[in-house]
Structure 1
C-alpha cells in the first residue's frame, strides 16, 4: 500500500483510454486514498471495510441461496433500470450521479466505438443492473464494489489491502488463507466462488431468464468488477488457462468504457430509450424473474 492508502498494484491505469476519452485526468480515477475528513472518501472506505469484514465463504453461500431462486420480483429490464435512478453507488469514488446515468454513459461510449455491435451496447447499459438488490434489504456493501474470490488468501491488489480484512473470520481459517485455499492450481476463473455482488447476480439472472446476449457479453458482466484479476495481475495461479485469457480480454475490452465514461455530462436518457428498448426486446424481452 502507498502512504495515501492506495494499492500500488491497482492496475486500472492499464486500461487508460485515448487522451480525449475522459473529462478528468486518468490518474484521478479509482482514487482510494484514505481521508476521513472527506465525506466521499470516508463513505467509500467504510463501504469496502464493511464488505471485506463480512464477505466470507458462508456469507456467499447464504446470498446465493437467497437470490438465485429468482423469486423476489418480476419486472421488465427497462423498469428495473429506471429504479437505478434512485441509487448512488457508495463504493464509487468517481461519480455522485445516479447509477442509471452511468449505465447510459457506458452504453453510449461503447456505441460510439462499436456501432455495429448492438449486444455490446446493451451489455454496457445493463452491466450494473444487479444493484437492484439494494432495494430489497441488502446493504450496498454486499451489492456494489470490486469483487474477489472467497476461500483463498486475499490478494495484495484488493483495494484497502489486507488491513480491511482484519475482521473477516476467513482471514484466520487455515483452510482458506493459503494461495489456493479451496481451489486447485489452474482451476480457471469460472471455478472460483466470487464475493457476492451485482456482477454474479446479473450473470446468473440473465442465464436463468434465457437472455441471448453473446457469451462475450456475459463474461463482461460477470467479471467487470474483478479488478484484482483483470487489472491487478493477481490470481494467475488459479486463472491462467487459454479460456481465462480470452475471458480477460473481453473484460478489458469492456472495462475502459465502464471506468472512464464517468463524467459530469449526462446523456439525454429519454431520447435514447427507444433505441435501447429495441435491444432489450431483441435480447431479453418481456417480464423477467429477479
Structure 2
C-alpha cells in the first residue's frame, strides 16, 4: 500500500494568504485547497491527474486553438438559468474541496455574497454564474481544458502554480526559448489584458458576457475573468507583467475569491426557493436566450 507523500514546499497553496476569519465557514480553513499527493485518496489522485494532464497539454498553440473554436459563440443557444441547471450534472475534477455538483457551489457562493453585500445585486449574480463557463465540458471539452487554476502561457511557468514546475516537464513550451524565459513573448508591464491565459471557464465566460452584451459592471467581469488566476492574485507572481490597472482589478478579485474559496460545505442551499430571486437578476443583467 502506498504511503502518503509529504507536500513539497513548492506545492504549498498560496491561497492561504486569502483565508478569512475562522467563523466564515464551519469547515476547518486548513482543509481547503489541499493539493498534497496521497495515492490512497481517490479525490486527491483525481485532482493531481487533472492538473498534470492540463500542464502537459496547455500550450500557446492550444490556447489559440481553443479561443478560435469557442469565441465564435456558435455552439448552442440557452438562457442563463438553463445553462446553470446543466451544472447539476458536473462535478469539477480539479476541486479537492467538494464532490457536489457545481450548481451547489454556485448557490453557496452567491448566497454568502448576498449575506455580506445585501445591496449589491450584481455581486450576487456574479457569484452565481462565475463558474458557468464550465458548460464547455458538455460540448466536447475535457475537464482539464475547462476547470482548475489558470496561468499565463508564453512565458516561464511560475513556481506557485499548483504542483509546481515538475508538472510541466512534458509540456513542449517548457523547452521553447520563445516561451520559457521570464518575459517570454510579452513586454514588461504589458498588463493582464495582454497576456494569453490558459484556456478555461474564466476566459470563456468573460468573453461570453461581452458577446451577449451583459449589463454587469466592469468589476464583475474582471472578477470572473481572473478568479482562477491564483499564481497572480494569491501567489504574487507575474508582477513583472502587470500594470496599474491590474492593481485595481486585484482588489476586486480578492474580494470575490474569499467567497469562491471558503463557502464550499456539505450544507445544501434550497435552490428551488432561491430561483425566483436569481431569475430576477438574470432578467436584469443577462436576459433572454444567449449565444454560447
Structures share fold, TM-score greater than 0.5: yes
**TM-score (structure 2 length as normaliser):** 0.97
Corresponding residue for residue 217 of structure 1:
220
Q: CA deviation at 1:9?
A: 5.7
Corresponding residue for residue 256 of structure 1:
258
RMSD: 1.1
Q: Paired residue for 2:85, among 82, 86, 95?
A: 82
Identify if the C-alpha distance between structure 1 residues 252 and 42 changes in structure 2 by more than 3 Å, giving closer, same or farther.
Answer: same
CA contact (8 A) 1:5 1:34 kept: no
CA contact (8 A) 2:6 2:37 kept: no
Matches within 5 A, 1:35-50: 35-50=38-53
Unaligned runs of 5+ in 2: none
Inter-partner Cα distance in structure 1 for 2:201 and 2:225: 9
Corresponding residue for residue 145 of structure 1:
148
CA contact (8 A) 1:12 1:227 kept: yes
Inter-partner Cα distance in structure 2 for 1:211 and 1:16: 31
Inter-partner Cα distance in structure 1 for 2:249 and 2:155: 21
Corresponding residue for residue 127 of structure 2:
124
CA contact (8 A) 1:75 1:288 kept: yes
Inter-partner Cα distance in structure 1 for 2:120 and 2:228: 22
Corresponding residue for residue 284 of structure 2:
282
CA contact (8 A) 1:104 1:125 kept: yes
CA contact (8 A) 2:11 2:36 kept: no
Identify if the C-alpha distance between structure 1 residues 261 and 282 changes in structure 2 by more than 3 Å, giving closer, same or farther.
Answer: same
Q: CA deviation at 1:190?
A: 1.0
Corresponding residue for residue 72 of structure 2:
69
Corresponding residue for residue 58 of structure 2:
55
Corresponding residue for residue 273 of structure 2:
271
The 3-state SS of whatever aligns with 1:7 is helix
Q: CA deviation at 1:166?
A: 0.7
Identify if the C-alpha distance between structure 1 residues 6 and 126 changes in structure 2 by more than 3 Å, giving closer, same or farther.
Answer: farther
Matches within 5 A, 1:198-209: 198-209=201-212
The 3-state SS of whatever aligns with 2:170 is coil
Q: CA deviation at 1:25?
A: 1.4
**TM-score (structure 1 length as normaliser):** 0.98
Corresponding residue for residue 246 of structure 1:
248
Inter-partner Cα distance in structure 2 for 1:125 and 1:74: 19
Corresponding residue for residue 19 of structure 1:
22
Matches within 5 A, 1:182-193: 182-193=185-196
Q: CA deviation at 1:5?
A: 4.0
Q: CA deviation at 1:8?
A: 5.3
Partner deviation per Cα, 1:157-205 (whole Å, 9 max, x = no partner): 0000011001100000000000110001111111110000000000000
